Structures are given as C-alpha cells and as structure tokens.
Amino acid sequence: MRRLKIPEVTISRLSLYLRCLTELEEEGVEVISSAELGRRCGINPAQIRKDLAYFGEFGTRGVGYYVRELKQDIKRIMGLDREWEVALVGVGNLGRALLSYQGFKRHGFRISVAFDKVIDEERKKAIPEGCELYPAEKMEEIIRKRRIKLAIIAVHYSEAQKVADSLARAGVKGILNFAPVRLTVPKGVTVRHIDLGVELEVLTFFVNTKMF
C-alpha cells in the first residue's frame, strides 16, 4: 500500500495545535469546538479538521474535541510522547545560546551531548548539567554509541556540510541547521534550515511593501 504523503505545512500546523491545546489544558479547558480551537490558533476550523483527518478520526460530533485526549494524540503522531536526545555541533555564541534555551526541555528535547573543535574554559562553562562536551573528532563515535537521531548544526557555514556528512554516517536522521548554507544529505535524513538572515529579509519585504 502506498503511504499517504502528508504536506509539510500540515505538520507545522500540528505543532501549532499542540501549543494551543497545551495552553487550553493549563487553563482548565476540557472540551473545545473546532471553531473555538480555530480562533485560538488563527486557523480556519475546516483546515483543522482536514489536517487531523490525515491521521484518523478525532472529536465528537456536536461536542467537539476533548483537549487532553487530542493533545496526547498529536504528541503521539509527532513522536513527542517520549524524550528525544539531541546532539549539538558547535559551541560558539549561537551554540551557547541554544544550550541555555529552556524551551527544548518543555517540548521533550534534551541536548545531551555537544561537540566543538575547541575545548576551552568558556565552552566548558556553557555546558549545562546533564550535557557532556566532547571534541569534534569523537562526534561519530559518541553519537553512534548513544544512538542519537537528532542533531543541531551551529558551526561556520564552511564546516556545515562536513558536519552533516559525519552526522549522517553516525546514524542521525534529523538535522536542524543554523548555518547559512543548503546541505546535501542522504535519503532518509531530513534537514530543516534555519537561516536568520533570510527570515529578516522576508520581514523587510513585507515591511517595505506596507510603506508604499
């Protein structure tokens, strides 16, 4: 049987729904209609129903969605019903900022290992409790041994492809790339590119357009 291809934008919206449902649960809301969920998320209710339909049947006609139940279903769909170990490559300014970001833990991700070509006191001090710092040459060995499947690249763009090649050889299947360069990876490895410069350029287009 041919596997149904899920649009990438649908996966992005699932993440948004999960955040909205988490907020609703914290507010004590137990049941919510698709119309109200759409209002909270800023998404057309019909689109929410269409997105969820890719994964099965959810909600009760005439009642709506049980918040806690739908939240758990989406976490299961996205593989967030477990904690994920993440490897960080590059402990420069950006890498240190990522190490201090508390949002990863809230969403079920833990940077458990970090790698850098330079191991100095500044980098050692940046490593939080529960994370270990290793020299870059040990990257493939450590990642393979710990069976880590997710990694973040925060190195200079000239080193990014080499790092991606090493991560793929070590068995990493998902890469979040902060280096401003497009990476080539083997089939079976997914890359998300986060280019802050490009994002700002997109913003300037919209700001500039509204000024005329």
pLDDT digits (tens, 9 = 90+) for 18-42: 999 999 999 999 999 999 999 999 9
Residues 17, 45: one domain?
yes
Q: Which residues pair with 134 in a beta bridge?
A: 115
Euclidean distance between CA atoms 152 and 156, whole angstroms: 13
Residues 64, 95: one domain?
no
Residue 62's pLDDT is 84
Q: Do the annotations mark residue 92 as ligand-binding?
A: yes
pTM score above 0.85: yes
For residues 132 and 112, the answer to whether their CB atoms sit within 8 Å is yes
Q: Do the annotations mark residue 37 as ligand-binding?
A: no
Residue with structure tokens 């948004």?
16
Q: Which value, to the nearest 10 degrees, does the dihedral of the CA atoms of residues 144, 150, 151, 152 take?
A: -170
Which of 77, 104, 121 terminates a domain? The answer is 77
Residues 101, 20: one domain?
no
Calculate mean pLDDT across residues 165-180.
98
For residue 156, tell me if it sits in a domain: yes
Residue 211's pLDDT is 64
pLDDT digits (tens, 9 = 90+) for 111-138: 999 999 999 999 999 999 999 999 999 9
pLDDT digits (tens, 9 = 90+) for 193-212: 999 888 899 899 889 887 65
Calculate mean pLDDT across residues 184-200.
94
Residue 2's pLDDT is 45
Q: Do the annotations mark residue 91 as ligand-binding?
A: yes
Q: Across all residues in the chain, what is the average pLDDT?
A: 94
Window from 1-10, 35-44, 134-143 with minimum mean pLDDT: 1-10
Residue 104's pLDDT is 93
Residues 40, 125: one domain?
no
Q: Do the annotations mark residue 171 as ligand-binding?
A: no
Q: Do the annotations mark residue 42 as ligand-binding?
A: no
83, pLDDT greater than 70: yes
Cβ count within 10 A of residue 99: 20
Residues 68, 98: one domain?
no
pLDDT bucket at 61, cuts 50 / 70 / 90: confident
Phi (first) and psi of residue 32, to 5 degrees: -145, 145
143, pLDDT greater than 70: yes
Residues 73, 15: one domain?
yes
State the amino acid at position 93 in one-letter form: N
Q: Do the annotations mark residue 177 as ligand-binding?
A: no
Residues 186, 114: one domain?
yes
Q: Domain tally for the chain?
A: 2
Name the residue range of residue 43's domain. 8-77
